[in-house]
Structure 1
Amino acid sequence: MNITLHNLGRRFNQEWIFRKIDYTFSANHKYAILGPNGSGKSTLIKTLTGQLAPSEGIIEFSLAGNSIPVEEIYNYISIAAPYIELIEEFTLSELLEFHFKFKTYLQGFDKEAIISILGMDKSRNKEIKYFSSGMKQRVKLALACCSNAPLLFLDEPNSNMDTEGEGWYLELLDKTCCNNRILIIGSNQEREYEFCDAFVSILDYK
């Protein structure tokens, strides 16, 4: 899987959030999109995932040499982000069953394995609205990482997480970052991305 950006830019009104990005994201690599709060990291991720259209330039998606239309790229994406909401009226068990009607499990995982990884067996029948913010973040990350998708996007992955949760996040990635994946993390917290092998500073494209 490759994502290739050609002269990519996005603006709101007359303000350019980023411009003239020429870059290729390739499978079996971990990327960090870096920049201070409000610099445009989430805007770039939303553009890469098809949630926002570029203001200029193009994005090319390809798998095994075959081009993927942008309107179909959602089939290949898994994402956890502050702006992605959980269905809070579902119990944890119901949420997992609903999510995996649309996504397939990553090899080696199923509903019980995910509940075990979350350490939430006693909360399986509790509605998500009664979870703490840290528990909700763990669920978001588990849903994204344990879905069988070649493109994994994590925007501010340690939001609402304590020190124990940050360690859990690193263990989760160690278990789920397969060789055929592209992992893209939006962050300004080094612990969230220090293991990445490539770094893109949004400030270089202002």
Structure 2
Amino acid sequence: MTIQLHNVAKRYNRDWIFRGVTCDFKSGSHYAITGPNGSGKSTLLQILGGAVTINEGDCTFSINGQAIKPEKIYRHISFCAPYLELIEEFTLSEFLVFHQSFKPFLNPFDIDFIAEAVQLKHAKHKKINEYSSGMKQRVKLAQCIFSDTPAVMLDEPCTNLDAAGIALYNDLIQKYCGNRLVIVSSNDPQEYGFCNESIDIMAYK
């Protein structure tokens, strides 16, 4: 998958968040979007995920040279962010079944495998509203990383994770995201240390 930005700019009301962003993002490479809190990292990531519109420039999505229609972009991208809500009335098993109904998981992994991979197999029949904040973040990582999509978008992915959770996150990236397009929005090297390219959002102010 390839995402191309050409002179992209975003504003809210009269305030420009960033302008003139020109970058190519390609499968097999891992990118970090860095910058201080409030600098626009999450906004740029949401543009790359097709969730936020731009005010200037062009943003195109393609797979093997074939353009993806805007209404189909969501099928090819999985997203993990602290502000995305889980359906907490579901158990983990119920949530993963529901998620799989509109975005299949990587073959050949099933729900039991995924629950064990994020160290939640013991709690897969417990409602998510009974989970700790760290357990909920593992659920978000599970539905994102194991979705069968060529692109994985991660916004501050280690939020609420302890040292063991951060180690698990990096292990999941290494095992299941090697040939995929991965973009991480973060100012914490623990979250993007594996990335081979970096975009400093402050360069576009």
Pick the TM interval, shorter chain: over 0.9
Q: Which runs of 5+ in 2 are unaligned?
A: none
Question: 1:8 maps to which residue?
Answer: 8
Question: 2:40 maps to which residue?
Answer: 40
Give 3-state SS (helix, strand or coil) of 2:51's partner: coil
Instruction: In structure 1, give the amino acid aligned to 2:70.
Output: V
Aligned residue runs from structure 1 range 154-193, under 5 A:
154-179=154-179, 181-193=180-192
Question: 2:58 maps to which residue?
Answer: 58
Give the C-alpha shift of residue 87 in structure 1.
0.3
State the aligned residue count.
Answer: 205
Aligned residue runs from structure 1 range 74-85, under 5 A:
74-85=74-85
In structure 2, distance between residues paired with 1:198 and 1:127: 39
Question: 2:195 maps to which residue?
Answer: 196
Q: Percent identity?
A: 48
Runs of 4+ in 1 over 3 A off after TM superposition: none
In structure 1, distance between residues paired with 2:107 and 2:195: 23
In structure 2, distance between residues paired with 1:190 and 1:32: 9
Give 3-state SS (helix, strand or coil) of 1:167's partner: helix
Q: TM-score, normalised by structure 1?
A: 0.97
Give 3-state SS (helix, strand or coil) of 1:87's partner: coil
Question: 1:108 maps to which residue?
Answer: 108
Give 3-state SS (helix, strand or coil) of 1:57's partner: strand
Give 3-state SS (helix, strand or coil) of 2:109's partner: coil
In structure 1, distance between residues paired with 2:141 and 2:157: 7
Give 3-state SS (helix, strand or coil) of 2:86's partner: coil
Question: 1:127 maps to which residue?
Answer: 127
1:60-113: CA deviation from partner (whole Å, max 9, x where unpaired) = 111111111222100101010012110000001100100101111112311111
* Cα root mean square deviation, aligned: 0.9
In structure 1, distance between residues paired with 2:72 and 2:123: 35
Question: 2:28 maps to which residue?
Answer: 28
Instruction: In structure 2, give the amino acid aligned to 1:187.
Output: S
Q: TM-score, normalised by structure 2?
A: 0.98
Give the C-alpha shift of residue 191 in structure 1.
1.1
Question: 1:96 maps to which residue?
Answer: 96
Worse-superposed segment, 115-124 or 86-95: 115-124
Q: Which runs of 5+ in 1 are unaligned?
A: none
Instruction: In structure 1, give the amino acid aligned to 2:65.
Output: G
Instruction: In structure 1, give the amino acid aligned to 2:103.
Output: K
Instruction: In structure 1, give the amino acid aligned to 2:11.
Output: R
1:6-62: CA deviation from partner (whole Å, max 9, x where unpaired) = 110000111111100111001100000001111100011111112110011110111
1:123-182: CA deviation from partner (whole Å, max 9, x where unpaired) = 111110110000000110011001110110000000001111111111111111141x11
Give 3-state SS (helix, strand or coil) of 1:134's partner: helix
